[in-house]
Chains A and B, each alone.
Chain A
Amino acid sequence: MNVLVVDDSAMTRMIARKTLKSLGVTDVRDAEDGVVALKMFEEETPDVVFSDWNMPNMDGLQLLKEIRQRNQDVPVIMITTEGSKPKVVAAINEGVSDYLVKPFTPATLEEKLGKWVGATS
């Protein structure tokens, strides 16, 4: 399984990597913003994308739009601290697959992985 994690926080990326590793996922790439993530996405299509919402350079919503222009099928799960209705509606309109609320636990990350890409280990 190939997972792309996008978050401007190095700590969050580190936690996601550690958690995914504990779930048996070893093929993890990470990016600090949407610009870097889109380049990685184009180089190799991941099985699932976990993306933060608020990031510099290119935010998660813009990244979602760019990904959907290239691929309609890859699950894109927005990692967010907030669930404001206008933002949720905007993301639904752009084809978001699901949400992961920060702070997340290994169990919730595993649940999302299982839901969108099948068993993790």
Chain B
Amino acid sequence: MTATATATATTQVLNPLIQAARDTFGLMLDSQVIKGDVSLHTIKDEFFPLTAVIGLAGAVRGSVCLSFSRELAANAVRQMAGIEGEVDSDLLRDTVGEFTNVIAGSAKDMISDEVSLGLPNVICGDNVKITFPDQACAMRARFDTDLGPFFLVFGLEAATIEL
């Protein structure tokens, strides 16, 4: 595995993830996603209070994270479930995990058959530190929707299999 391979993998993964985020928000929430700047992710960068992490293994390995504001998670639940008022915390966590699962799964299909996904884990709190594989080029992008903002953060390194 080389730095070039990892840089290539990062580039090849970024666009499918962005496309998957747009498709998923469009279909599940009828919401348009506006992508902000993409930048390198550092350990000091902040997350929103609800962050789901899903592991990838195989041709690329590392993690994909989706970090939702409470506003976005609650609005998503209200819209999808057709409910009003306060939303149960378990349902908020479940929703962030499921969005991450769907987006990572959809992107995976555009990346390679030689990648497998784990189950999402959801972390609550905005003082979150997530580390990625040593050779990964960790990236983050902010997105805005009419229901609230979210971050997409991922760090993946290429394995020995050619993408």
Contact = CB atoms under 8 A, between A and B. Distances in A.
A86 B113 contact: yes
Given A9-B94, A81-B109, A103-B24, 19 more contacts: A8-B119, A9-B95, A10-B90, A11-B80, A11-B81, A11-B94, A11-B95, A12-B98, A14-B80, A18-B81, A18-B82, A82-B106, A82-B117, A83-B109, A86-B113, A102-B101, A102-B102, A102-B106, A104-B27
A9 B97 contact: yes
B94 A80 contact: no
Contacts of A12: 98
A-B pairs, top 7 by smallest CB distance, nearest first, are A81-B105, A9-B98, A82-B105, A103-B27, A103-B28, A11-B95, A84-B113
A12 B119 CA distance: 15
A9 B95 CA distance: 7
Nearest to A22: B82
A102 B24 CA distance: 8
Contacts of A82: 105-106, 108-109, 117
B124 interface: no
A35 to B, nearest CB: 15
Interface residues of B, number: 26
A74 to B, nearest CB: 25
A58 B113 CA distance: 23
A54 B101 contact: yes
A26 interface: no
A54 B119 contact: yes
B104 interface: yes
Contact of B77 (A11, A56, A103, A104): A11
A15 interface: yes
Contacts of A80: 105
B117 A54 contact: yes
Interface string B108-137: 110001011101000000000000000000
A105 interface: yes
28 contacts: A8-B119, A9-B94, A9-B101, A10-B90, A10-B91, A11-B80, A11-B94, A11-B95, A12-B98, A14-B81, A15-B81, A54-B101, A54-B117, A54-B119, A81-B102, A81-B104, A81-B106, A81-B117, A82-B105, A82-B109, A85-B113, A86-B113, A102-B101, A102-B105, A102-B106, A103-B23, A103-B24, A104-B27
